[in-house]
Every structure is written in structure tokens, then in C-alpha cells.
Structure 1
Amino acid sequence: MLSFGLLAACAAQAPTDESRQDSNAVSISSGVSATSGTGPVMGWSTAGFLGRNPSEAGIKAQARVLANRLKSHGYDTVLLDDFWYENPSTTVDAFGRWTADPSRFPNGLAALADHLHGLGLKVGFYVTPGIPVAAVEQNTPIEGTSLHAKDIADPGRYETNYNFGTRVMHGIDYGKPGAQEYVQSRANQLAAWGADFVKLDGVGNGNVADVQAWSQALRQSGRAIHFNVANSLDANNGNTWKQYANSWRIDADVACYCATQVTWNTVVSRFADVPKWVPFAGANGWNDLDALNVANGTLDGLTNDERRTAMTLWAVSAAPLYAGDDLTRIDGYGLSLLTNDEVIAIDQAGHPAHPVSQATNQQVWVANNGDGTYTVALFNLASAAVNVTANWNDLGFSGSASVRDVWDHRELGSFAGSYGATLDGHASRLLKVTPGTGATPGRRYEAESSANTLGGSAVLSGCVGCSGGQKIGYLGYGGTLQFNGVEAPAAGTYVLGVDYTVGDSGRSIQVSVNGGAPLELPFTGTDDGAWGNVQSFDVPVALQAGSNAVTFANPSGWAPDIDRITVAGTGSVAVVNRSSGKYLDVSGASTADRATLEQSAGRGRASQQWTLADAGEGHFKVANRNSGKWVAIPGPTTTQGTQLIQSGDDGGENAQWALAPARGGYYRVVSRYDGQNVDIRQGSSAVVQWADHGGSSQQWSFVAF
């Protein structure tokens, strides 16, 4: 259990071997856009429904729907993905370039592009790195030079090609004259056909030279062309992709290659992969999550809730929105998803959201819109219905805020401290949150600030996903970090938000305030070796008015790396139930002794505000701001189900509590008197004591006022 301001004894032992890895990523580069200056692309791709069978007739049929039904909402690009060309090991043109399959495109790709342009649409073409085997075997000339294919080919190396196999494209030796000229000839060919978009697929870390060459060639092609690189790229090379391309695939294909377009599993995998890419998105460079398959109902392989969740993730990630469905069979719900202009506006605004925490399947993602508002997405990735709550202090402010449901275009009202909703399995909500005039900005302190004090092994390191691109690592075993000058407007209880990274299974850290006894916290790890994936953990702390010092340490093990802390509130906190999303309150806002406790909707009343005070030996007392009385067990009694009361302080253990951490930043509140938990009674507003049953009704979060 966690003490309030005292050393705790329950946190899991942190790993102790020297294998602790820290990602020393380079700082973020602003980069230069490779080609055309655009936001996230919107349109349709052959990679989904048409798949291995693109054709002139099939594309024209889809393009008619795109132009007539979706173009007015921003969908204006048709991407001709793979399978349009003849086998590069046997067939090339006079300059060693791919040729269109005449059985699929009898009039050629230039004619197809002219048709699409005539509909007011843009067109994209697909390529892979290298030079065709046929070009090398025939030793075709390189256009505009006296050189030939054999002069630039690396015959001992093959490039990836998903259509015809692994031995149809030789690598290119970019140290040889003619290499750049050959790529330029390919880019010129696509530009002559009318390309507005080019996708270079089969790219990995070994293809940086190809990406550079294609980027330069497209710039010099005479057309403004959006350059996309794919797929399953390495975030450690994110600065490279951003420097040379306009968008980049962060994951494998979303297609399941099964009876449906996708499955929930192929969609939900994006949630784990997006966060480390967030710092690279924006200003003409976008994280590509692959095709969006939400328009064909059961043919998509998703429920309606799952379809909306997919569209929500793509939109809040500022990802390209290109449909992969059969547009001639869009159902009504799918059309409503693709044409919700308020959701599309979030995508096109280009403010990528990040998760507050990914410790559980109930996730809150947030983006600061830069105009005083926030985009907030609530996701329930689990299969059963559960409450998901966004706490304002996680967004960077405290107080009240108005909430708008973006999907339904509906104002939900003003909410103090947080907003929560019960979501069905795999469901989501998309919100616009506007802090009220009385809201207090959270005070944020970067770990790398020169005002802080480092001790022992603690060092500054780069961090792709961290605020400011830096963090403090190697904490623990003598390595310490002290935040100096942490301000509080008045003495009281505040919510301390800790942004951290842990790439292994989890670690613990001790937090002390102003030299007091430390509080030990268990921090969940991502267990994927990704030390740039930032998570957050909230804990209530007692601060004095004015300046405070907050110290992080772990004398017996490695601790998490620290990105920054946020101090939210004005001196009191709400105690919010995880299951219901409702606030701990006093019935009727009574100030009377022995008035009962209940849960109620959060509205910022003084009776919903609490402060914590040290009760010694790892326990604390909880005082109501309105009455000044303490949360207590009446009697006292050990009877399970007894409704709790507020009471004057007589020093009894029935008014003393401890915190036991639950996953996702929630806590169980455990009685010192009988070891039972603060719980809510089924079908009732009553707040009771009950033996530990592991349910979310016994889990509470602390939200700043």
C-alpha cells in the first residue's frame, strides 16, 4: 500500500542488472518537405478492395463514387497501389523502367491519370526500390546518359518486391555514376503520366539512399508530388523519413488477408505503434496508419463501434485518410463516418494526439489544439463495457471545462475536474474540451531543466517521444533527480502527474516532497524495449504554499526515466470512481456530523472536494472541503457493506486510510481499521466499505480542482 508522504512497502521490485537500455535518440529535426506542401492525404487506394486485381475499369468505377460522394469532404486522391506493372524480371521499357500491364490498363496509365484529373481528382502511383533484373540482363540505357543498367546495379543484392517476389529487382549502387539519373528517369516517367502522389514501398533502414534519391528526383520532376515511404518503418530513423518524405507507413499492412478487409486485431495493433511516432507528425509530414476500411459494414470485418474507433484513431493521429473499401457499396453508417466534417477537420488540423497512459485497455488520447482547446479521444480496447475518464490535469489544466461530442455534434455541458463515459467493448468517444474561464493551467516542469539537481548516475538523454525531446535517465542505484522551484498557490493537496518511460516490464520509484519521507510508486512498463514511449502516472501530494522541491530516487533498483512533471489544482482534489466515473460526495452537501457519503456526477461542488493529511505509519486522513470533517467508518464496525460517513476527527483508525495501486493510475482506498476498501453499492449511490474483490468499483483516481 502507498503511504501519503511516507515510505511504502508494496511496490514491485525493479530490475537490477546492467542490461537496462535507454534509447538515446537524436533531437527532432524540423526537416524539409520532400515535394508538395500538403496536409494529410485523403482519398482512396486500390490496396484494399481491388487488392491484387487493379484495373482501369475498376479504378474508374471507384473514382466516380469518390468524385460524386466524397470529394466535397476532401477525399481527392486515387492511389494505384501494387500489381499494376509487368514482371520486372522479364519486361521493362527501353530505359529499364516498369511497364503497365496492358491486360489491366489497355489505354496506359497516362490516359487513366487524365481521366481522374478530369474528375477533379489527383492520382498516385506505386514503386519499389532498385532496378529491374530485366534491365540489368538487357543492359538497357539510362535515359539522358551514355550509361547503362549494369553500370549502376548491385547484382549481388535484391530489393523487396511484394508482387513478383524477392529476385526481380536488383539493388542500386548509389556510389556509381548514373544511379541518381536512373531514379530521375523513373520519377520523370511518373510525372509525365500525371502523378500527384508516389508511394515507395519495401523500404527499410537499408534503403535510406533510395529514399534520398527518390526525394531528390521527385523534386526535380517538374510536378508537385506527395512522397510516401512504406512500410513498418523504424521510428529510430524518424528524422530521416521526415526530412525526405511527406508521409511514412509506421506499421505493417492493416489488411488481414482473410475473408474480410481487416480484423479488430489488425486495427488495434496501431494503438501500440502510434505513440513513438507522434513527435514526427505535423507541418507537411504525417504518420501513415495504412488504408481506412470503415465503409463496407460486415465486409470490413468490424462492428460499428470498431469502425468508429478506427476512424477516431486515424483522425486524432492526423493520419492520411485513404479508404480501402469498395466505394460502390458504401453503407449508410460507413458514409456517416467518412463524411463527418467535424472529425475530418480534426485530422486535417494536423495536431497528433498522444495517449495519457497505455497501462490498460481504457485509454485517453489528447492533443493540444493550440487555440486553448483540446481534442480528447476515449477508447475502450477491452471487450466488456467499462467507464473511461479523461482527467483535466492530464490535459494540463484544472477546474471546469465544457465538453462537446464531436461525432454527434452535441454539447454535453460543463464538467469539473474530468469527464467520463461508459463505453461498450471496442467503442470510443471523440470530444472537444474547452477549459472554463476559471480553469487553472497545470504547472509543468521539464526534467532536463537547468534549475533541477541531478545526483549519482542520473544523466540527460535524448527521447523521441518526450516533451522537448529529452529526459533524465539512469535514475536509481544512487541516481537521483530533484525538481526545484515547484510552485503551489496555497498549502493543500495537488495532483502530481509524472510523465515517464519504461521499456521493460515495470519499475518503482520513490518520490519525496521537501525532504519528507518518500512515497514509493510502481510504474508500469511497456515491455517492448521502446524507451521513447511516454506514459503518465498521477499521485496526490501535499505541497506547501510557494516553492517546493520534489525528488525522485530508488536506492535499491533501477527507476523509470523521467520526462517531466505537472502540478495541477488549487489545493483540493476530487476522488473519482473508475466504474461509474462519479465523484465521492457528501449526501445533500451536508456539513452535519455522521452525514453519509455517496457518489454523484462531478459538478465542482465544495462537498466533492477533499484534502489528504498524514496520519502516520503509511496512512492518511481524507477531509471534506465543505464540512471540514473526515471520511470514516461509522460505529466503528467491520460489517461489509456499511455506508461510510463524514465525522469529526477523534484519532480513531476508522478514519485512516492507505492507497493500494491499481493499473492505469487508479488506487484502492483501504481502511486501516479493518482492511476493507472504499466501494460503491450496486444499484445505489451509496459509498460503502467492502472486502477486496478486484473490481473497478473499488478503484479511484484523484483529480485536481
Structure 2
Amino acid sequence: MNIKNINALSFFLVIMLVIGLGFVPIKINQGKKDQLNLAKTPPMGWNSFDSYGVYLHEEAALANLEAFAKKLKPHGYEYFVIDAGWFGEFKLKEGTIYPAEKHAVELNINEYGLLQPSKTYFPNGLKPIIDRCHELGLKFGIHLMRGIPRVAVENNTKVKGTEYFAQDIADTTSICDWNHQNYGVDMSKPGAQEFYNSLMNQMADWGVDFLKYDDLVPYPEEIEGIARAIKQSERPMVYSLSPGGTVDVNAIDAFKKANMLRVTPDIWDDQEGLDQCFAAWRKWQGQEAPGFWIDMDMIPFGQLQLMSPKPQGVKGDETKKEISEKIKSGELHNIELLAGKGWHRHSHFTKDQMYTFITLRALSASPLMMGGDLPSLDDFSLKLVTNDDIIACNQNGIMGHLIYEKNNIEIWKTPHTSEDSGWIGIFNRSAKKQSMSFSMDDLKLDINKDYFIYNIWKEREVGNLFFDINANGVVFLKYSNKLI
């Protein structure tokens, strides 16, 4: 046997041994496969912004993580997401952990301009939190801002693995309106893709499972660049786009590179937020698909804005504009308007608004991301966000459509994916109680079929279709054909 044949035989035997031992190099293919299988139903989890703004700290993060595992995980919630500010070396109010600035001027970055955990709020880094998250069988998420830190551009840090520098790729004319910490990245420049690759590789190395990417929706080139960076990292990560508000439907192809698309502004505990969700629902109904969900922001139930104690001289119901005017006039002193809306409070929603809010989220298949503080969460809020019918309707993954609109009453219907059954929400969009009767045709149900109809919030079978609906309230129905 000549040398060439021996080498060929050796190669064959090595390949057979590798296959026999199960050491087939499938990492890249498996990563691609897992990425395609992400978010087949609307993601469910917790995000820190409503309760901690951009000032979540280590102790609160760990407390919320343990409460998450106890209260939400048994009901299918899985993503624990730390929002913005985790990299900021905040100035603090003397003798407290409360921030003395809205957004940190000093950011913690490494030699490649990549953000690192704040030594102020995360003295032990994020690794203990990420590790504990995975130990509990949960998935870890983190917030990022579009672009590259301005401090990296000022220091002209090197783009990892390239001959390029931060100043070669930054678009210094592209700055977020409400957070000036970053410049945009010009994706036409050499080194731009490599910068995002290096950032996503760091996220993958840390064990990140979910990315909330902010200030990104108006920039399709960067949306696609980050999608490529996630793919090359070989770690499946749910990719969530923010913020919402004025979102261009015509850019849907770029948006579908991600798994979630924010279509509302920040939603808070007031009627304005509810109205914004209804408007977004109308605009985006039918755009959802397994792996791509229309996101209407977090659920502001429970304790909110824990890092923003109400200052002396503030009533608590003023707008930011009113507070700013009082600061300028000298009426208020030493007050910093912090991230988020308002001051520390329990959610201002009425119970009827809460019923409406969570029913809308279920019927619209919007991701269920709890926003309030979990250790202190009240029983009523917990009961709503863990309700079996809410979760079943939401995870059904069909964005309901409007079937009736009259006298400030809207009826939205979400059919089951595979059965002659589903869910219906009868919403009173007015500020006064209404009593109304409906027909089977109003509910778009076949009059020739015999249906079982159940009132979820009243916990009883429906005998007729006459309902008293409180102001800004809802009747939430589940229907099924008795023959199935």
C-alpha cells in the first residue's frame, strides 16, 4: 500500500471515529437552525425599565431574578431582561444609590470600544446574574443602543480584529434624540460590520439570549448589520427592535430580520398608553408570524420607578414639561428629571384598565414582558399576568382582528390556530359605563353551530349576549364549538 492510500485510509478512519463518538462539528449549522427556531410564539419575560429606569443595580437584579423564577417561570415566562444603563458609571446622590444624572456621562468600555458592566451598579459584573439566570432554567437578555459609544470615538479605539478604528466607522451626524451616548455606525465603511460582529461575539461569550436594541427602527442598514452579526456569532439570540411610535410599514422586510418590532412609544400606566396600543393594533394587525411579533412594550403593573423617589415640592402628577418650567423658574431646586415617566408609585391603572390592558395583549399576540417590580408585586397584578386564558390566547400566536365598531364599542376576535374556537374581547372605549346586547353575527360566530361561551373575567358561562361594560373596561370571552 503506497503512502497516498495510507493517508486516505487514515483520514477515513478518523472521520468514522469522530462520527461514532458523536463529535460531529455541528456548532455552526446548529446555531443557524436554532436562530430560525427562535420566538415561535410571542416571547414572555420581565424587563427592568418600568420599575428601575436605567438604574437597575445588582441587589435589585438578583432579587427580581429569584422572584421571577418563583412567580412567573411556572407559567411559561422565560426571558429576564436588563434594560439600559448597565454600563453607566452614574453620579449618585450623596449617601444613596439613587442617580444624580439622567444618563451617565461616564461609560465603562474596553480597549475595543465595547460596553462593559458598570462598576457603580454591578461591582461584581453581570456574570453572577447571567449564571444564576441559567441555573434557574431562564434566559438572559440585555439592552443595547444603536451605534458605537461616543467615548470610543473620542478615544479612537481599535475595531477588534481589524486595522480600522472607531473614527473610521462612526457617523457623527447620527445621534439619538433622547440619549446622546452613542454615534451611529456607517455600514458602508470598512470595519463597520466587524464592529457589530465583535459586539455580538461579546454578547454570545457572556451567554446573552435576548437583545433589546434601541434607537434602531429608523435605520434599516444597521438593523440588517446587527442581524448578520448575531448570525455569525453562532449563538441564538432573540432580536428585539425599539423604539416604536412612528414606524414605517414599508420597511417591514428589514424589520423581519428581527424577532420583535416595537410599534408604540413607551407605554405607561395611563389611558393615553392604552389608546396608543389600540391604534398600533389597528395599524399592524396581520403582520405577525412565528418568529416575528408586533411588540406593544412592557406591562406597567405593580411598583414603578423605584429609583426615582418623589422630590420635595412635587405633587407627582405634573408633566415633565411642567417640572422643567418650575426648575427654570427656581420654584424647584436640585431635581433631576430621570429616565422613565413620573416618580416612584404603584401603577395608576384602575382595575378595569388593567383588565383591558392584559386582554388587549393576549388578543393581539404582543410579547408579554412584565415591567413592574417582581418581589413586591401585588396579588391582583400577578393573577392577571399569569392567567391561564391570557397566556393560552397570547401563545396561540394570532393577532386578533377588529370585527365590530359602534358607539365606542370595539370587538376584537382571535381564532384558535387549529380548532373552531378562540377568544373575543368586547372593549368599551368610552369613559362611561355601557350596557349592550350583541348577536352571534356581531361576534362573527356561525348561527348554525352550538357554541360554549365563557366569560373569563366573570368566571362563568354566558347565558345570553347582554353585557354591562365598565368605563374603559372589557368583556373577555372564550368560545368553542360544542361538537369539537
TM-score, normalization: structure 2? 0.76
Letter in structure 1 aligned against 2:46 = W
Alignment partner for residue 246 of structure 1, among 259, 272, 277?
A: 259
With 302-311 and 326-335 compared, the bigger mean Cα shift is at 326-335
Alignment partner for residue 152 of structure 2, among 105, 128, 135?
A: 135
SS in 2 for 1:158: coil
User: Is the CA contact 2:217–2:241 (under 8 Å) kept in the aligned structure 1?
Assistant: no
Matches within 5 A, 1:486-635: none
Residue aligning to 2:55: 53
- 1:78 positional shift: 1.1
- 1:126 positional shift: 0.6
Alignment partner for residue 215 of structure 1, among 220, 227, 236?
A: 227
User: Is the CA contact 2:42–2:365 (under 8 Å) kept in the aligned structure 1?
Assistant: yes
Q: Does 1:153 align with 2:170?
A: yes
- 1:106 positional shift: 0.7
Alignment partner for residue 355 of structure 1, among 402, 408, 424?
A: 402
Matches within 5 A, 1:434-473: 434-435=480-481
CA distance in 1, matches of 2:220, 2:131: 32
Cα deviations across residues 258-279 of structure 1 (Å, max 9, x unaligned)?
A: xxxx212222321122122111
Matches within 5 A, 1:65-104: 65-86=67-88, 87=104, 91-104=108-121
- 1:219 positional shift: 1.8
SS in 1 for 2:467: strand
Letter in structure 2 aligned against 1:283 = P
The Cα RMSD (Å) is 2.4
CA distance in 1, matches of 2:437, 2:183: 53
Q: Percent identity?
A: 29
Residue aligning to 2:186: 173
Matches within 5 A, 1:309-328: 309-328=356-375
SS in 1 for 2:194: helix
Letter in structure 1 aligned against 2:474 = S
SS in 2 for 1:425: coil
Q: Does 1:401 align with 2:451?
A: yes
- 1:123 positional shift: 1.0
Residue aligning to 1:27: none
Distance 1:360 1:200, change over 3 A: farther
Distance 1:108 1:384, change over 3 A: same
SS in 2 for 1:65: helix
Distance 1:140 1:405, change over 3 A: same
- 1:411 positional shift: 2.6
Letter in structure 2 aligned against 1:397 = D
SS in 2 for 1:75: coil
User: Is the CA contact 1:117–1:123 (under 8 Å) kept in the aligned structure 2?
Assistant: yes
- 1:358 positional shift: 4.5
- 1:97 positional shift: 1.4
Distance 1:427 1:238, change over 3 A: farther
Alignment partner for residue 372 of structure 1, among 413, 420, 428?
A: 420
For structure 2, the 5+ residue unaligned runs are 1-33, 89-103, 305-344
Residue aligning to 2:460: 410
SS in 1 for 2:129: helix
CA distance in 2, matches of 1:120, 1:376: 33
- 1:51 positional shift: 1.3
- 1:389 positional shift: 5.0
Residue aligning to 1:264: 271
CA distance in 2, matches of 1:159, 1:220: 27
Cα deviations across residues 324-353 of structure 1 (Å, max 9, x unaligned)?
A: 111122222112112211221110110111
Distance 1:266 1:152, change over 3 A: same
CA distance in 1, matches of 2:150, 2:303: 39
SS in 2 for 1:108: coil
SS in 1 for 2:475: strand
Residue aligning to 1:281: 288
- 1:237 positional shift: 3.3
Q: Does 1:107 align with 2:124?
A: yes
CA distance in 2, matches of 1:220, 1:38: 21
- 1:204 positional shift: 3.4
Alignment partner for residue 189 of structure 1, among 175, 179, 202?
A: 202
Distance 1:138 1:237, change over 3 A: same
CA distance in 1, matches of 2:404, 2:458: 26
- 1:241 positional shift: 4.8
User: Is the CA contact 1:33–1:285 (under 8 Å) kept in the aligned structure 2?
Assistant: no
User: Is the CA contact 1:33–1:284 (under 8 Å) kept in the aligned structure 2?
Assistant: no
Cα deviations across residues 6-37 of structure 1 (Å, max 9, x unaligned)?
A: xxxxxxxxxxxxxxxxxxxxxxxxxx977724
CA distance in 2, matches of 1:276, 1:388: 27
Residue aligning to 1:506: none
Whose radius of gyration is greater, 1 or 2?
1
Q: Does 1:237 align with 2:250?
A: yes
User: Is the CA contact 2:54–2:83 (under 8 Å) kept in the aligned structure 1?
Assistant: no
Residue aligning to 1:430: 476
CA distance in 2, matches of 1:267, 1:119: 33
CA distance in 2, matches of 1:420, 1:294: 30
User: Is the CA contact 2:399–2:414 (under 8 Å) kept in the aligned structure 1?
Assistant: yes
More helix by share: 2
SS in 1 for 2:126: helix
CA distance in 1, matches of 2:136, 2:253: 35
Alignment partner for residue 203 of structure 1, among 213, 216, 227?
A: 216
Residue aligning to 1:387: 435
SS in 2 for 1:280: coil
CA distance in 1, matches of 2:107, 2:391: 44
- 1:401 positional shift: 2.9
CA distance in 2, matches of 1:236, 1:277: 8
More strand by share: 1
CA distance in 1, matches of 2:296, 2:169: 34
CA distance in 1, matches of 2:405, 2:107: 49
